[in-house]
């Protein structure tokens, strides 16, 4: 007997097909069993003959049933050895993350942008223009490295505002940090095996390189960035750094240490991956020039993104490859397709070409500086000298270090959650779980000044400081 599930919204013929197929695979319908005729089954299920016939034809095409002339359809003989049996479900206890599935009134996520920051009207206009002016281009695949026009605009921007020296041919448009790190791991795998990274630092680079079987070497971070003395004691020949605004502590690597790092790479035949993730958002003084500009001919890979200022949802980033590594990239990825959609690349090109990008940067610096200053003032007001603020003056977050260690990180986040305040654990950025001061990350991008004030007030109440 076959019964159609009225809650199943799929077409009738699909329901009939799936039910018969599942009964055959489970053994409920044994081989050579005669199926009801099309006419009888259509009457039984109150459906049209065409519906039943379509289901039978699909089963016949896939080999689940066979037909006998003037007799009907029968169940095929399938080798039971190759039919997978359903596994018994076992209960698994998974500890939920803080606030998992919960909506928070106050969100201190370190990478969220302001809801009103995205230039929706401009972007919509540019998308429409791209579709109307040359629809033929959307019937073709674009360059694996990204559209040349966009790479040209990125090169002009990097040269003027970041001090990066490169040609458009060296730029590869990527789909975020994870995509660029995956590409780099494959490029470097042939000649390198040990990967160094900042500790604390971003978890994506270390996760990607670990997945490509690199030996991981966490390098401690101090007020001048990574510890170069510690780095020299390792066997690393590849290192990922954030020299202009160290993530997450916010330190700036001074030029002397930058030159020493470049010298280390020269001596060991190494490669430096410079992650310039939020260099546009500096609120006091001029932006810190890129490390790559100090030695453009060296093996320094510059990585940038549009996620921290424009939109993380666009998944648009880029990297600048030295020519030696560009030749390896071309060998490995010449048959690949671009990972960022052509429509968004064209819209982004127009956004930069027509001056919207620079105006947007100025607007965002002003907006986030107000939020940054409001956060600092709120912390001073509610915590005073009970906390130390690290990494202020740039980016979208600061780190709060508590003077006393009565509460650990888990307690701090748990108490904040009870007050409907979301925070992410700073411990996720550490590879070595040795002792470190009690610290938490506070992102200020998503909330307005009034919400930041209220959120900090709730934290001071929750922590009883």
3 state SS for 389-453: EECCCECCEEEEEECCCCCCHHHHHHHHHHCCEECCCHHHHCCCCCCCCCEEEEECCCCCHHHHH
Residue with tokens 């100090």: 294
Sequence-distant (6+) residues with CB within 8 A of 443 are 107, 108, 109, 110, 111, 112, 396, 397, 424
Structure tokens at 188: 């470097």
Q: What is the pLDDT of residue 4?
A: 77
- 296, 165 contact by CB (below 8 A): yes
The whole-number average pLDDT for the span 50-67 is 92
Could you read off the pLDDT of 300-309 as tens digits, one per residue? 999 999 999 9
- Answer yes or no: is pLDDT of 435 > 70: no
Distance from C-alpha of 106 to C-alpha of 422, rounded to nearest angstrom: 6
Q: Residue 303 gets which letter from DSSP? A: E
Distance CA 15, CA 198 (A): 54
Predicted TM-score (pTM) of this structure: 0.81
Q: What is the mean pLDDT of residues 422-435?
A: 84
Q: Which of 77-91, 207-221, 431-445 has the highest mean pLDDT?
A: 207-221
Give the confidence band of 84 by pLDDT, cuts at 50, 70, 90.
low
Neighbours of 319 (CB within 10 A): 25
Domains of the chain from N-terminus onward = 12-82 (1.10.10.10), 106-112+359-463 (3.90.1150.10), 120-354 (3.40.640.10)
User: Which tens digits make up the pLDDT trace of 126-168?
Assistant: 999 999 988 888 888 889 999 999 999 999 999 999 999 999 9
């Amino acid at each position: 007997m076959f019964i159609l599930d009225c809650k199943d919204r799929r077409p009738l013929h699909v329901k009939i097909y799936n039910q018969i197929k599942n009964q055959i695979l489970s053994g409920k319908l044994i081989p050579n069993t005669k199926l009801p005729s099309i006419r009888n089954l259509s009457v039984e299920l109150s459906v049209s003959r065409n519906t039943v016939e379509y289901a039978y034809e699909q089963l016949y095409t896939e080999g689940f049933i066979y037909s006998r002339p003037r007799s009907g359809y029968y169940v095929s003989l399938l080798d039971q050895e190759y039919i997978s049996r359903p596994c018994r479900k076992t209960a698994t206890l998974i500890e939920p993350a803080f606030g998992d599935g919960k909506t928070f009134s106050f969100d201190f996520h370190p990478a969220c942008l302001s809801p009103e920051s995205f230039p929706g009207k401009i972007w919509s206009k540019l998308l429409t223009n791209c579709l109307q002016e040359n629809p033929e281009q959307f019937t073709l695949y674009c360059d694996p490295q990204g559209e040349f026009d966009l790479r040209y605009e990125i090169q002009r921007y990097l040269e003027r505002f970041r001090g990066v020296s490169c040609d458009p041919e060296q730029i590869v448009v990527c789909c975020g940090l994870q995509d660029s790190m995956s590409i780099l791991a494959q490029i470097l795998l042939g000649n390198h095996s040990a990967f160094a990274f900042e500790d604390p630092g971003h978890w994506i680079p270390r996760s990607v390189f670990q997945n490509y079987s690199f030996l991981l070497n966490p390098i401690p971070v101090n007020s001048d960035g990574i510890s170069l003395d510690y780095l020299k004691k390792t066997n690393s020949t590849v290192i990922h750094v954030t020299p202009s605004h160290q993530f997450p502590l916010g330190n700036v690597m001074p030029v002397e240490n930058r030159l020493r790092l470049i010298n280390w790479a020269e001596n060991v035949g190494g490669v430096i991956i410079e992650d310039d993730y939020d260099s546009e958002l500096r609120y006091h003084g001029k932006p810190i020039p890129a490390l790559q500009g100090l030695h453009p001919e060296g093996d320094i890979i510059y990585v940038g993104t549009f996620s921290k200022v424009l939109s993380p949802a666009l998944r648009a980033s880029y990297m600048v490859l030295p020519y030696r590594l560009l030749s390896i990239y071309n060998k490995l990825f010449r048959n690949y397709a671009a990972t960022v959609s052509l429509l968004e690349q064209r819209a982004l090109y127009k956004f930069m070409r027509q001056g919207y990008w620079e105006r947007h940067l100025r607007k965002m610096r002003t907006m986030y500086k107000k939020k940054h200053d409001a956060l600092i003032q709120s912390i001073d007001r509610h915590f005073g000298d009970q906390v130390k603020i690290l990494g202020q003056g740039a980016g979208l977050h600061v780190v709060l270090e508590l003077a006393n260690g009565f509460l650990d990180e888990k307690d701090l986040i748990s108490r904040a959650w009870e007050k409907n305040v979301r925070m992410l654990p700073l411990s996720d950025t550490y590879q070595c779980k040795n002792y470190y001061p009690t610290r938490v990350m506070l992102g200020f991008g998503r909330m307005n000044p009034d919400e930041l004030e209220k959120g900090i007030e709730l934290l001071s109440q929750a922590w009883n400081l």
